[in-house]
Structure 1
Amino acid sequence: MNIFRFPSPEPAPEDRLHSEARDWLILLTSGQATAADARALRQWCAQSAEHALAFERTKALWHGLKPAAEALQTPRYFGRRAFLGGAVAASAAFLLVRYSVPGGFSGIGADYITEVGEQRRFDLGDGVSLELNTQTRVSRRTMADGAQGIELLSGEVEVLARQTTPLKVQAGAGWLSASQARFNLRNTDQSVCVTCLDGALLVDVQGQRIHLESGQQLTYSAQQVSPPKTVDTSAVIAWRQQVLVFNDATLSQVIDEINRYRPGMLLLLNAELGKRKVQARFSLDQLAGVALLIRDAYGATCTELPGGVVVLS
């Protein structure tokens, strides 16, 4: 028996854009979106006026559904296709993803973990202690010679090493070695930044061995290594005093950093506004209302979405 199969018609460009916009909203409100995802969404919206309009219309739909989402007390078993099929299913899908996978999947199996807004101290013994900042994953590593080592999988940590045998630390494409040092190490968005706070340390990356002393900072990725520079270390470790300090940063950079500390996400869609330079100092307990501060300071429009997402445009 012959079975005839007819190809499915290609979706109209407008339908395709709205489908992609819905997928962006699902990711954005899933609790797993990153600063890199936010930047990618800004780039998607900037492709054309039609892209931006599709996102605005989808955002308006979700905003209108907020009461329905809040009324649902338990997750229902709807998936992404259910969202595409109707408004109530969209709310249920959001709640399912949001509450069935708390904390997301980054760093599963890590030995030392902090969640959004959490900071914790861990004493590893043998003269090594860790101060983990928000959303950080660190694992123990045993070196070939049996010495103690750790790997910063993601996030930010202040490391204190006071031992005779150098502590080995892996972060991204590089390895650090320190026996008498205190340093701040950050691994976010596929970029690593190490700041020597006290003592000295060595960084091996891309065939280079770089010596850092107190007050020096090095940034590297799998593609490049920037020259070491002298920095204000008090600004680097301000998070230890529950403060974020921004000196001559763009508003986009400020928002990306704030997103590491607060539930949900701030999403800035105004590219020109994102380029504005900022001198700011925020206490971490101010971050719940930071969207209103940005609105009042820069005239941005705020739209609240489910899951603590605030769109600034």
Structure 2
Amino acid sequence: MQDSDEIQRIRDATDIFLRLRDNPEDPKLLRERELFLARGEEERLAYHKMLQVWSVTGTAKRAKRPGVASLALAGAVLVAGYVTFQANRHILIADVYTQYDTQALHLDSGDYLALDARSAFVDKSDADERHVHLLQGAAFFDVETESRPFVVTAGDVRVQVTGTAFEVTGDENSGMVSVAEGAVNVVIENASWQLRRGDRLVWSDDVGARLTKFDASQTASWRNDVLISDDMTFAQIVDVLDRRMPGQLIVTDATLSDTKIVGSFDLSDPQQSLDLVVELMGAKVISMPYVVSVIAKR
């Protein structure tokens, strides 16, 4: 997907810049930078943006050589800016969007929808089908049975039901479907899954899709300001906390992102919950308040 490619280019540019900063004459690193820049205009632009952000963030510290944390934060500012741009673009076209609180409502069709913090959707229903397009965030649906099918889309994912209760989280690059009652059919490109109560399908551009079991009573626990994780990764937990906090939370290490965590977290105090899960992982947070916080290994 274009969004994840753009973010990955910025991360690659930051990584190369960090290593060259400490070893500016290393021929292997210089060759690596040449190959990265030779990939195309997008890579050259990402590296140029990295240099621009570094020139700004380094200005106040000219008397002291900046550390890796400062440079990592500079790269994260680029990622956060791109993510913020995407979120603002979604707000412009959304029928309903939320800030840091959840919202419950009924669609024109009469179906119930609960929207998590920093989430947005467009209602595309017509005479043939009830259709909600989730632009970002998470939503819980309690769907009435009627002749028109009920469809939820998020990126390339399509979820179809006639009457059931379920949660969908997602954007263009990743997401999750969890079924509380009834059954849903999930289609991702050329593959499909039939999910029933207690089934959860998680997908991402990076690792594909996987089907797991969970306690159906915990579906969309964020409606009660609680995040209950029995099979969620650190990155998924951070995503939920991120929706309740200003700025952007970015995890820089894949081994942190993919680690499974079991626990319960208070969403009414997301900062305290973030501190707890970061401590649990033995990680650290490099923060530019209200702009971006980078979570990395200690």
When normalised by structure 2's length, the TM-score is 0.63
2:183 to 200, 204, 223: 200
Structure 2 CA distance for partners of 1:227 and 1:44, relative to 1, 3 Å? same
In 2, the alpha carbon distance for the partners of 1:185 and 1:120 equals 15
Aligned to 1:231: 214
The DSSP-based 3-state class of the residue aligned with 2:293 is strand
How much identity, in percent, do the aligned residues show?
21
Equivalent position amino acid for 2:120 in 1: R
DSSP-derived class of the 1:108 partner: helix
Structure having the higher Rg: 1
Do 2:160 and 2:186's aligned partners in 1 also have CA atoms closer than 8 Å? yes
Aligned-pair CA distance for 1:195 = 1.8
Task: Write the mapping of 1:55-134 to structure 2, written as runs, cut at 5 A.
Answer: 104-115=88-99, 117-134=100-117
Residue 92 of structure 2 aligns with an amino acid whose one-letter code is I
Q: Is 2:103–2:116's contact at 8 Å kept on the other side of the alignment? A: yes
Contact 1:46 1:52 in 2 (8 A): no
Q: Is the 8 A contact 2:116 2:137 kept in 1?
A: yes
> Offset of 1:110 from its aligned partner?
1.1
Alignment of 1:246-265 (within 5 A): 246-247=229-230, 249-265=232-248
**Cα–Cα, structure 1 residues 173 and 114, in superposed 2: closer, same or farther, change >3 Å?**
same
**AA matched with 2:11:** L
The 2-side partners of 1:225 and 1:276 are apart by 17
Q: Which amino acid aligns with 1:307?
A: Y
1:44 Cα deviation after fit: 4.1
Structure 2 unaligned regions, length at least 5: 25-48, 61-76
What do residues 4-42 of structure 1 show as CA deviations (whole Å, max 9, x unaligned)?
xxxxxxxxxxxxxxxxxxxxxxxxxxxxx99x9499638
Mapped to 2, the partners of 1:49 and 1:295 lie a distance apart of 25
Q: What are the Cα deviations for residues 205-258 of structure 1, in whole angstroms up to 9, with x where unaligned? A: 434554322222234567997464432223442211111123355544433442
**Which residue of 1 is the match for residue 74 of structure 2?**
none
Partner-residue secondary structure (3-state), 1:104: helix
Q: Deviations over 1:184-216 (max 9, x none)?
A: 111146123222211223334434554322222
Spell out the pairing of 1:3-18 with structure 2 (5 A cutoff): none
Task: Report whether the alignment pairs 1:305 with 2:288.
Answer: yes
Taking only aligned residues, the RMSD between alpha carbons, in angstroms, comes to 4.4
Aligned residues: 249
Task: Give distance in 2, aligned partners of 1:202 and 1:275.
Answer: 26
**Residue in 2 that maps onto 1:17:** none
Structure-2 residue corresponding to 1:23 = none
Larger mean Cα displacement after TM superposition, 169-178 or 154-163 = 169-178
1:158 correspondence with 2:128: no
